[in-house]
Amino acid sequence: MKRLIEIRSYRLKPDTAARFQDAMRTRALPMLREHGMDVVAFGRSEHEHESWFLIRAYRDHADLIAQQDAFYGSPAWREGPRAGIVACIEDYLNTLLWLSDAAIEELREPDPSAA
């Protein structure tokens, strides 16, 4: 079975990486998971220190839209970490592609060179 993967790449404003990472790890990622989103991976780009990525998996495009509309429209997000996170972002880009369950599971595995 294949699932739709969204890879969101963030380019951060200078000197905001630590604040962005903290807000994402301690507030936004737990909230995304509590809302039922399948967060596959999150981290800093290997080649650009001001770039980060968030990878999420969905059943299909309709599922992506429904989950994201529910989450990003929620008072918990809008009145919670949204402003602090958005203030760190210079720009972002979304890429969608279909991957097998096995490929998605491989994306979840930590980088062996980081051990």
Q: Is the pLDDT of residue 90 over 60?
A: yes
The CATH code of the domain that includes 88 is 3.30.70.100
Please give the full DSSP string across 52-110, using - where no structure is assigned. EEEEEEESSHHHHHHHHHHHHTSHHHHTTTHHHHHTTEEEEEEEEEEEEHHHHHHHHSP
Number of structural domains, the chain? 1
- Residue 44 in 3-state DSSP? strand
What pLDDT does 111 receive?
57
Residue 12 has pLDDT above 60, yes or no: yes
- Domain of 32 in residue numbering reads as 2-114
Assess contact for 100 and 2: CB atoms under 8 A. yes
pLDDT band of residue 112 (cuts 50, 70, 90) is: low
Band (115; pLDDT cuts 50, 70, 90): very low
- pLDDT digit string, tens, across residues 15-46: 999 999 999 999 999 999 999 999 999 999 88
Question: Which pLDDT does position 49 carry in this prediction?
Answer: 80
Show the tokens assigned to 27: 């507030």
